[in-house]
Amino acid sequence: MSVPLAEIRGLSVSYGCDDAQSFALQGVDLDIAKGRRLAVIGESGSGKSTLALALAELLPPQARIEGTVGWSGLAHAPVAGRDIGMVFQDPGGSLNPVLTIGEQVAEGAVRHLGLGWRAARSHALALLERVRIPDPQAALRAFPHQFSGGQRQRIAIAAAIAAKPGLLIADEPTSALDMVVQAEIVVLLDTLVREAGMTLVFITHDIALASGLADDIAVFQRARLVEKGSAQAVLTKPAHAYTKHLLAAQIDFSTPRLIDGVGDA
């Protein structure tokens, strides 16, 4: 039996428009097991990012939130950046173009681990090595625009884990990258999470990508959690029609098709 890190109960979120029916999340009950890798899967707009922001208490002020997120696996309520590391789709957005890589990766260690800048700089150097940035010593003094998209995402991951968070939330971290780089980032996340014993929440619309990484899977459709379970169970014996549809679409995708749309209902 796995120990829960977090228990989400009856979580509903709407973004405060007049239409009370427009929920971004509705009635979600989900446990996040400590030390396991949870893939959150669903199409665009299904509420995945809202879930990530709710976990990190980063929802905008206009969001109306019902339900609870309990952290029975932690001694105190988590602080984003310290206990929860976040990686987003666009690494350009999370890296500041006018600060050096060294400053940005070291910052979390200065702020949350209480390291001085000199110690934090060595910590940053070690992190850049761990995420396999070539010539990490030179990278410390370089700026984001000097790196490729995949390398920027590696740097963003290094910054996200600088304060040694117990939970890493990666929200579509590979969606802006080409397929080869996507696979490399997934392998990197897998390795880092194993080494550090971190819990991972990996958000994606790509069930194939999730299947390579996940211990557990939660499937969202239109604000609702429609299926959850071990990756093995969800992938081999999907219970919900939408999960079956995602898996079937995946098989379609890898099978050459002569005429688009054949077989569609």
Residue ranges in contact with Mg ion by CB under 5 A: 48-49
Q: Which is nearer to ligand ADP, 107 or 171 (CB)?
A: 171
Q: Which is nearer to ligand ADP, 63 or 119 (CB)?
A: 63
Separation of alpha carbons 161 and 84, rounded Å:
9
Q: How far is the CB of 217 from ligand ADP (least distance, A)?
A: 15
Q: Which of residues 32-51 bind ligand ADP (CB under 6 A)?
A: 42, 44-50
Q: Which residues contact 6 (CB under 8 A, 6 or more apart)?
A: 31, 32, 55, 69, 70, 71, 72, 73, 167
Tell me the residue type at 29. Answer: D
Q: Which of residues 15-34 bind ligand ADP (CB under 6 A)?
A: 15, 24
Is residue 199 within 8 A of residue 33, CB to CB? The reply is yes
Record the tokens describing residue 41, joined without a space: 């899967």
Q: How far is the CB of 230 from Mg ion (least distance, A)?
A: 24
Q: Which is nearer to ligand ADP, 42 or 136 (CB)?
A: 42
Separation of alpha carbons 191 and 9, rounded Å:
30
Record the tokens describing residue 110, joined without a space: 């200065």
Q: Which is nearer to Mg ion, 31 or 172 (CB)?
A: 172
Record the tokens describing residue 47, joined without a space: 């509420």
Is residue 215 within 8 A of residue 36, CB to CB? The reply is yes
What would the x/- binding string for ligand ADP be over residues 55 to 94, using CB under 6 A?
A: -----x----------------------------------
Residue 70 binding result from ligand ADP, Mg ion, none, given CB thresholds of 5 to 8 Å by partner type: none
Q: Which is nearer to ligand ADP, 131 or 246 (CB)?
A: 246
Is residue 55 within 8 A of residue 6, CB to CB? The reply is yes
What single-letter DSSP state applies at residue 156? H
Separation of alpha carbons 50 and 24, rounded Å:
7
Residue 47 binding result from Mg ion, ligand ADP, none, given CB thresholds of 5 to 8 Å by partner type: ligand ADP
Q: Which is nearer to Mg ion, 45 or 67 (CB)?
A: 45
Record the tokens describing residue 93, joined without a space: 């957005």
Residue 42 binding result from ligand ADP, Mg ion, none, given CB thresholds of 5 to 8 Å by partner type: ligand ADP
Rg (alpha carbons) of the chain, rounded to whole number: 19
Q: How far is the CB of 236 from Mg ion (least distance, A)?
A: 27
227 Cα distance to chain centroid? 18
Q: How far is the CB of 136 from ligand ADP (least distance, A)?
A: 32
- Contact call for residue 151 and ligand ADP (CB under 6 A): no
List interacting residues with ligand ADP (CB under 6 A). Answer: 15, 24, 42, 44-50, 60
